[in-house]
Structure 1
Amino acid sequence: MKVEVRLLGPLEVHGPNGQVHFTGARRRAVFALLALRTGKMVSRSALVDGLWGEDVPPTATKTLQGHIAKVRKALGVDGVILTREPGYLLDVTQVVVDVEEFDEHVRRGDYQAALRLYRGEPLADCPVEGWASAEIIRLREAVASAEENHAAALCLQGRYAEAIGQLERLVALYPLRESLWDLLMDAQQRAGRPGDALRTYRRVRTLMIEEFGMEPGDALRRREAVVLSRTGSKAFST
């Protein structure tokens, strides 16, 4: 049985004897850092950077080695964390990581399966710094893209009510992501709700002006023009 690692939310690790509990946030974090690069050696210097950023204690390397020893003991499985100078790696033959499963579902276009793996803010309970912070941003963007693609797929299937509900939630979560507003307007128009589509444009226009002092981008302006050309200005009052 492989060790299951879940990074898309608070860290969860499940081994042959059930859920693994690491004492201390730093130990959770060091395991998460290795899991982000499963199968690849992560140098001690990179782990130190990921754990402490610019605030590196003088005993960082020794403390890191202590964390690795405790994490190995907590796992209760030999050979999961391998020493490979000048650092460590997770043995890809012994672990399965939800991020890799997520990416595979996305490659196949199965966004619903990918999103079922998402449990909340990636590494929510792991204090990480440096390059790991950039990895968390990447994971957030991957989830947002999967959600957008899933909504677009619902529109293509004619499931406009579902798409609109999902997109309303997404524009609240990612209000500056114009492509989501564009999809929302398209779904509303296709669902026979042009008035809602134009009101959506007014919402995002107000947001863009207040946040950036600028009009929405070309795609949204074209979408508004299409809706107006098909319905006329009376759509505002429908």
Structure 2
Amino acid sequence: MRVEVRLLGPLEVHGPEGLVHFTGARRRAVFALLALRLGRMVSRSALVDGLWGEDVPPTATKTLQGHIAKVRRALAATGADGVVLTREPGYLLDVTRVVVDVEEFDEHVSRGRYAAALALHRGEPLADCPVEGWASAEIIRLREALAFAEENHAAALCLDGRYAEAIGQLERLVALYPLRESLWDLLMDAQHRAGRPGDALRTYRRVRTLLVDEFGMEPGDALRRREAVVLSRTGWTAHST
């Protein structure tokens, strides 16, 4: 039986005989680092970097080995012994026995199955795993992949004519990612298509105020074109709403 690893939120590891309990945040983080690079050897130096970043303790390598030993014991307690393999100069997870939600997420996104991808997301990636160095960059990548999936899911809702759902989702997304102009553009489009041109123009004013006041910059070409389209189809002017 396989081990199921969930990184898109707090770490969850399900062994053949139940949930794996890792004692201590560092041990959770060690396992998460190996899962992020499923099937690839992660050197001890890379694991040290991922755990401590620039604040490396003098006993880091010895401490890491202790963490690996206790991770293996925790896995063995749920029937998942032998999942962590030693491959000099580091360790890796047995790819034939482990499934990681990040890989499932990426597969869904690559096939345009955005709702299925988003269903895997449970919160901030590796929420309870203190990681540094290269792993921090991996978390940023996962956040960006989530934003991409959410944006494309909202666009798909618009294409299906499900404007109310799209508008609700996009209002939440522009609050989360206020500088992502493509989300504001989608929101304006959904509002306009839903027969709410006034809301679309008010959305344009919201994003313009945000960009001008906070960053001293005007909206990009796509947003300005969207405003022009809404105005041209309503017969309103930029000062009449």
Place the TM-score, normalised by the shorter chain, in its bin.
over 0.9
Q: Matches of residues 12-161 of structure 1 in structure 2 within 5 Å?
A: 12-76=12-76, 77-161=80-164
Select 1:204's aligned residue among 203, 207, 223. Answer: 207
What CA distance in whole angstroms lies between the structure 2 residues aligned with 1:179 and 1:84?
44
Two-structure CA RMSD over aligned residues (Å): 1.2
Q: SS of the counterpart of 1:14? A: strand
Q: Distance in 2 between matches of 1:235 and 1:188?
A: 17
Deviation, 1:69, is 0.4
Describe the superposition over 1:61-80 as per-residue Cα deviations: whole angstroms up to 9, x where unpaired.
00000000000000012221
One-letter amino acid matched to 2:53: G
Is it true that 1:214 corresponds to 2:217 in the alignment? yes
Query: Percent sequence identity over matched residues?
Result: 89
Task: Tell me by how many angstroms 1:107 deviates.
Answer: 1.2
Structure-1 separation of matches of 2:231 and 2:20: 57
- Give distance in 2, aligned partners of 1:108 and 1:150: 12
With structure 1 as the length reference, what TM-score do the two structures score?
Answer: 0.98
The corresponding residue for 1:181 is 184
Q: CA deviation at 1:211?
A: 1.9
Pairwise CA distance, 1:237: 6.2
Aligned length: 238
Given residue 73 of structure 1, which amino acid in structure 2 is its aligned partner? R
Contact 1:102 1:114 in 2 (8 A): yes
Letter in 2 for 1:222: R
1:230 aligns with 2:229: no
